[in-house]
Amino acid sequence: MTDRNRSYQAFVQLLSRHWKWMVAGSLFGLIATTATVGLLALSGWFLSAAAFAGLSTTAAQTFNYFFPSIGVRIFAISRTLARYAERVFSHDATFRILESLRIWFYERIEPLAPARLMRYRSGDILNRVLADIDALDNLYVRVLSPSLVAGLLVAGLTVFLSLFDPLIALTTLGWLVVAGFGLPVAAGIAGAAAGRRLSHLMTQMRIQIVEGIQGLPELLVFNHRRDYLGQMDRNNRNLLDVQRRMSHIRGVSFAGITLTSGLAVLSAMYQGAALVSSGVLHGANLAMIALTVLAAFDALMPLPSAYQYLGRTREAARELLEVVGSEPPVTFLENSLAALRHFDVSFDRVSFCYTENAADAVHDIHFHLPAGQRFAVLGPTGAGKSTLAHLMVRFWDAQSGSVRIGGKDIRGLNERDLRQSVSLVSQQAHMFNASVRDNLLIARPGATEPELWQALEAVRLADFVKSLPQGIDTWIGESGRLVSGGQARRLALARAILRDSPIWVLDEPTEGLDRATERHIMEALFDVTSGRTVLYITHRLVGLDRLERILLMEDGRIVEQGTHAELLQGRTRYAVLQAGIKT
């Protein structure tokens, strides 16, 4: 199977879930199109037949005006009602397809976070969720449904015309095939490369816009705004060039269908005129045939444009599959192999590297953290401290060795059990574009008002939150931009307090705080983590004397470990660090 077919297969299967609404939309579309053709054809016959009847007094008296007029009204009403129903069912199918596509995409990228998604920029992911999925949605609205309607209409029209003359029917069928198949295929080939480039340029444009807005302060501070806008302007000109090319292809396609429809009508009238002259065909029927052929081409008008953009649709499918086709860094079991009853933590000869052929981020890490005790992991930036946190919560799996909770390998736990057992406060905890309350309730949706304020008190944020315009219900902006970095970090700690898991992993929890606040937060953490198993990751030497053990890391290895008192004895690295702080 080719990559192109593989790209479509997954999405066609997804679309097939909504086949009832899709079939209903296409059926009413067929009825509306048939009624449009019938209305024009019958109206033409009615006017022509009435004119012929007027040539003779006897014919005028016997001519039945009522049945054709009733037919015209039926076609007109049917067209209106069917078009309305077609819009209802097609829009319903469209929204259902969008819902399914977005849920499908999110369900498949969720297991990829954060390891695999780190390779993509946020603007790129946003573009795939919005523009690429919208492009795939057009597969039904602009390609499948119009193609089905046009195919059935051409078949029916051929049968109808053959009742008058098989040669007219075959000639018209030939022109319809040229307009309904030849021109769309030509437009698809002509627009394939431009469609792919259009998708790529639109992605780049959205990424630049998102990153430009996010990094606007830096662009202003470093006076790089004009250069950045220059890059955007060049990309925009390239985008306009491609869109202009697509417009030219679309214009030529429309001109081709118009020309073909004219030639088809001319052919039908030329052949029909000979039949009228020989008395085989009535003159009114010739007018009906001509208008029937002309109206049929209206159903083919959207096809070249739709197939022209198939290159973009195919590229959208490829980009989505590129993301969801990535292998998840970890795979959780459906059910845990055993229930957790103890919450000690062990790293058993753990080694891990982020990419192949790279140096180990951590190497041969081995220690045991008893339940209810608190260990500090100390070391400079890049020593591998945060990697231990990521392995602890299974953002990645170790290449060798194992991480255990209660003596059980965490790879034997399902995701729910692991997440309930371990709370992580990362270095860059995300604040959602919501209120303070909403950001706290992420940790425990059922938390009461007193519990929320108790957590805020513990991290010394209660007074600040009370001073906000709407208190705890104040909106804090995207990524918490309306609060300081230190306040956002304390909100993250408040979440951990609310979650109250048996195991805490705190990655630089006091980074960005002033000394006084840091001491207060450390006191609060010692209180709330009493009886909890805590892995405290830091490079700051504050409060370490109250922890049961200290692990000092350098270059991904544990180079020293012991209690605060033990490590101060002799000329240890830890003692040198402490001496440096005092001086």
pLDDT tens by residue, 441-477:
999 999 999 999 999 998 888 999 999 889 999 999 8
86 neighbors 34 (Cβ within 8 angstroms): no
Report the pLDDT value the prediction gives residue 1, as an integer from 0 to 100.
Answer: 45
Report the pLDDT value the prediction gives residue 60, as an integer from 0 to 100.
Answer: 62
Cα separation, 103 vs 95, in Å, equals 12
Which residues lie closer than 8 Å to 293 by C-beta, 6 or more apart?
157, 161, 172, 175, 261, 264, 265, 268
Report the pLDDT value the prediction gives residue 323, as an integer from 0 to 100.
Answer: 81
State the average pLDDT for the chain.
86
CA-wise closest residue to 260 among 344, 176, 342, 203: 176
16 token code pair: 């097939």
pLDDT per residue over 355-368, tens digit each?
Answer: 877 888 999 999 99
Is the pTM here over 0.85, yes or no? no
Report the pLDDT value the prediction gives residue 8, as an integer from 0 to 100.
Answer: 58
CA-wise closest residue to 17 among 90, 101, 89, 88: 101
239 neighbors 233 (Cβ within 8 angstroms): no
Sign of dihedral through CA atoms 302, 307, 308, 314?
positive
Domains of the chain: 3-324 (1.20.1560.10), 345-582 (3.40.50.300)
**C-beta neighbour count of 80 within 10 angstroms:** 12
Report the pLDDT value the prediction gives residue 193, as an integer from 0 to 100.
Answer: 86
CA-wise closest residue to 100 among 74, 126, 136, 125: 136
Report the pLDDT value the prediction gives residue 351, as an integer from 0 to 100.
Answer: 94
- Spans of the chain, pLDDT less than 70: 1-10, 55-63, 122-123, 580-583
CA–CA distances in Å: residue 122 to residues 206, 208, 211, 232, 270:
10, 11, 8, 17, 62
Q: Indicate the SS3 state at residue 183.
A: helix
Burial annotation 252-284 (CB, 10 A radius, 16+ → b, else e): bbeebbeebbeebbebbbebbeebeeeeebbeb
Task: List, as one string, the DSSP characters of 441-499.
Answer: HTT-TT--HHHHHHHHHHTT-HHHHHHSTTGGG-B--GGGTTS-HHHHHHHHHHHHHHH
